[in-house]
Structure 1
Amino acid sequence: MNNWSRREFVRIATVGAGAGIAGCNALSPSGSIKTDSETGRTSQKPARSSEPISGRVLDIEGGEITDAKLKAIVPGRGSVAETTTDEQGQFEVVEVDGPIWLRATKTNFIGRTVAVAPGTSSRIRLSPREGTVALSFGGDVMFGRRFYEDDHPL
């Protein structure tokens, strides 16, 4: 069981919502399409890619961060791969088969989680912990507001 702080929970939840909005969980057009013979409904399975995810971890001034830890996280499965950055701040995650959340951490820096897809290159900037204020915002989200109206069948 994870013992996340409220700040970490809000940050992860926000990234999850952002990943969904950005299409990180969307089905790829190159995925397989299946038609159910009884109902006639079609469904699409996402295409899986074995292409690596690569990139660099930098500080806010653009300097490379060496030995930063990167963790590939798949919702529902947890951490699926880990690596560290080299002398130029570069990394490569090869054990992924679809879109992931990539968590970058380094001592004395505020960790950052980003949504990435295989075959892409990502630049992750970390802010120094000292002298930095991190803010998280939430909006007006009411997914089921119309379900509570009197004339709705649900």
Structure 2
Amino acid sequence: MSHFSLASRSAAVLCSTVCLVGGLAVTPVAASTVVNRCGGESKDYVGLDTLDKPFQGSLSVNGTPQDMSITPMGTDGRVKVELNNGKDNPRYAISHLVIRADSTGMGVISFSTFAGDGWSTGLACDKGTRVTQINGIVEIANGVGDKLGVEFSAKRA
């Protein structure tokens, strides 16, 4: 004869059922795919089979304008970011773009500059996903060992 009562056997069955059903309730659901809307892939900045046109722009440091360019160097996402301090003293860094895309498919990039880093704060795509304007921040040296974040805007046709 069994030493377990009907109540304890019913509780065990109930617990097993709850655990089993509970396990089904936490089964992960596949995430939806993010669709590239603007700037979500390296080709949107540098080109696919051939290099795309460079971005030309400027920034202002203490009221002094400085030219800036972001030039595709390879279809693998390499770019040359060049700043000219207005004294015919250009400085540049070559790096790969780091590209992130939010849930709406809008891209955000970061890259190296001579004095530190740069990143986008806004992108524009005229047709499709090809980026035609980048607004953002670049770090520059302030002359006393510190970095200063300065807004920039760069465009291409």
Give the TM-score of the pair, scaled to structure 2.
Answer: 0.31
Question: Which structure has the larger Rg over C-alpha atoms?
Answer: 2
Give the TM-score of the pair, scaled to structure 1.
Answer: 0.31
